[in-house]
Structure 1
């Protein structure tokens, strides 16, 4: 069963891009990982429908924090914005029907804390401003013939 995630990459990704966990390109996770029995193409179509209704996002990096079960994953928090929260909620609504378990923690909208995981030496410094223009659907399960995480689909956010 695929485990997928939807991200806003800092630099554009392409379908088929693959990377190890330690080499994830910088991104804002806009919809946390979820399990699904649905074809990636169906989820990609729902993601594209949302992307067509949203303009590119300008976001700012806030303070650093530690995430993860052991609070040992350094991240740069993203200053909350109505546009980012609304995008998260729209994706949540569009993708929920495809989730294997609708009550999975990935679908807890109020707990959404936008951030960019730091991958030394890559990181966002507090105050950095980014314009994010693309959504990417990434398969989180490594495959023997690939480097690790693999981009299944990308959708540009509509031009304003």
Structure 2
């Protein structure tokens, strides 16, 4: 287990499974061409984001798009041809994954480095 994964696990200790409803759809990305379902920014989701941001900042993370973290964070789910959330549909967040967005410098792939389950209260 990496030191970062261990730090994330520690920060998530006591955090329980969260739920958030879909509020609608928008286009994200630099060209506004990535369809997403925007989730309600519930207190639980925002607190989870804040905890993770703290761990990553402490670990020396450099955020390429800093405007999307902290106060700029907007919880969302990418829409795919196989799955689209309906307005009001509730998403259950039961884990956090640490993802390499450019494994081997391939910008079209993602690599899951670790998945940490949230507590089931």
Tell me, yes or no, whether TM beats 0.5.
Answer: yes
Structure 2 regions of 5+ residues with no counterpart? Answer: none
Give the count of matched residue pairs: 119
- The structure where helix makes up a greater share of residues is 2
Write the deviation string for residues 139-160 of structure 1: whole angstroms up to 9, x where unpaired: 111339xx93111111110122
For residues 22-61 of structure 1, what are the structure 2 equivalents within 5 Å?
41-61=2-22
Normalising to structure 2: TM-score of the pair? 0.86
Match of 1:91 in 2: 52
Shift of 1:46: 1.4
Q: Which has the higher strand share?
A: 1
User: What are the residue-to-residue correspondences of 1:133-148 with 2, within 5 Å?
Assistant: 133-143=94-104, 148=109
Identify unmatched segments of 5+ residues in structure 1: 1-39
1:60 & 1:68 partners in 2: Cα distance? 22
> TM-score normalized by structure 1?
0.66
Aligned CA RMSD, in angstroms, stands at 2.3
Instruction: State the 1:99 CA deviation.
Output: 2.8
Equivalent in the alignment of 1:74: 35
Partner of 1:11: none
